[in-house]
Amino acid sequence: MNRVLSIVKKDVTQIFRNRFMAVITFLAIFIYAIVFHVMPSKVEETYSMGFYFEKGREAVEEQISEEEGVEAVWADNEKELKKLVEDEDVQAGLSFTLPEGKPKIVLYTSSQTPEEIREAGDVIAREAAYNLSGYPLNVAFDEVVIGPDLLGKQIPARNKMRILFVVVLLAVEFYALGNLISEEIRKKTADAILVTPVSISEFMTAKVATGIFLTFFEGLLAAFLLNIISINTVVPFIVFLLLGALLVVAFSFVLGTISRSFLGLTAYGTLFMVVFMGPAFTLIFPGGYSFWIKAVPSYYLIIPLDGIVNYGYALSDYLSEIAYLASFDLVMLLLGLYVLRRRLT
């Protein structure tokens, strides 16, 4: 045990003796924390829309008041409505006038208005046009939400980003531990250690302990700075952080063993890092979801973390993900240990 702890101490010192790895790791942690606290902490869920109706305002005003999430701002004339849109006091403006006795409806949007906002305004404008023309849609409309109803529970983008930040920190450890193993093999440091009373099993146990310790410590530090840790999330977060640390260690063993130089390590590490982080970007850009994402093991780490930290789900809701990730970690760790043992013997 003392020999294992001595190797772990040596490994940690060696990793942080690399100034690039030390600076980029802790600088990233604190920069991510600063970015998180600077980003907006609230989500604007209200759709603000300006209205000017030459006639029929009362009927439409009553209808709009029944709509959830729509804030109506009424203008006294069309010029005032255009000014509201131009100054971005509203996200869109709807005008109903009667030039020469013929109804005319115009939807005003800014050039900076997102496409989805324009589409929402277009839907409201068409519905108002049907009602004003005396031909309302004669259909029964019921809204049924499949799954959890998140109306009024939207979270700010920074809360999604903090999961991405944690995943980036885990991915950085691919380089740290992988570089340590690669250097010790290239410089024959591993051979020098193994001619001492240290057995190969103790050597590899120390490497696993080093990887888990560093990944867990850095992830926990980032979690505190990013307001992830709370009474309800501390245990689930620790469970998934340990599983993530094992995943990083397993891949680092393979990465460090197959890399013949720092350039090779960088090339392989970048590939591993991009694939590992892929599922995290679906949290920020849901429309970019692709079928292959579920084939990436980090998906079963990232999605549960998002559900537990951001939506308050329980650890028991992700037992299947825990089982899958733990099984994958075990298989990859055994593969990594096998590859490393073959390289050292």
Residue 327 pLDDT more than 90?
A: yes
Residue ranges per structural domain of the chain: 2-40+155-344, 47-132
pLDDT of residue 151: 53
The whole-angstrom separation of Cα 70 and Cα 47 is 5
Q: With beta carbons less than 8 A apart as the criterion, state whether 247 and 325 touch.
A: yes
The mean of the pLDDT values for the chain is 78
Q: Could you tell me the pLDDT band of residue 142, with boundaries at 50, 70 and 90? A: low
Report pLDDT for 159.
80
- For position 243, what pLDDT does the model report? 92
What would you report as the CA-atom Rg of the chain, rounded to the nearest whole angstrom? 28
What is the per-residue pLDDT across 270-295, written as a single tens digit (0 to 9) for each?
787 788 887 877 777 765 556 678 88
pLDDT for residue 42 is more than 90? no
CA distance 23 to 236: 29
pLDDT score at 29:
79
Bridge-based pairing of strands 47-53 and 70-74 is parallel
Supply the pLDDT for residue 297: 87
- Superfamily of 47-132 according to CATH: Periplasmic binding protein-like II (3.40.190.10)
Q: How many Cβ atoms from other residues are within 10 Å of residue 82's Cβ? A: 17
Q: Say what percent of the chain tops pLDDT 90.
A: 6
- Mean per-residue pLDDT for 300-328? 89
The continuous run of DSSP H or E covering 49 comes out as strand 47-53
Per-residue model confidence (pLDDT) at position 45: 57
Output the CA angle 142-146-151, nearest 5 degrees. Answer: 80
How many beta carbons lie within 10 A of that of residue 239, not counting itself? Answer: 17
Identify the band that residue 128 occupies on the pLDDT scale cut at 50, 70 and 90: low
Predicted local distance difference test score (pLDDT) of residue 254: 83
What are the tens digits of pLDDT across the range 185-194? Answer: 888 888 888 7
d(CA 228, CA 305): 10
pLDDT, residue 112, reads: 67
Which one has a higher pLDDT value, 133 or 29?
Answer: 29
User: What pTM does this model have?
Assistant: 0.71
Cα-to-chain-centroid distance, residue 225: 16
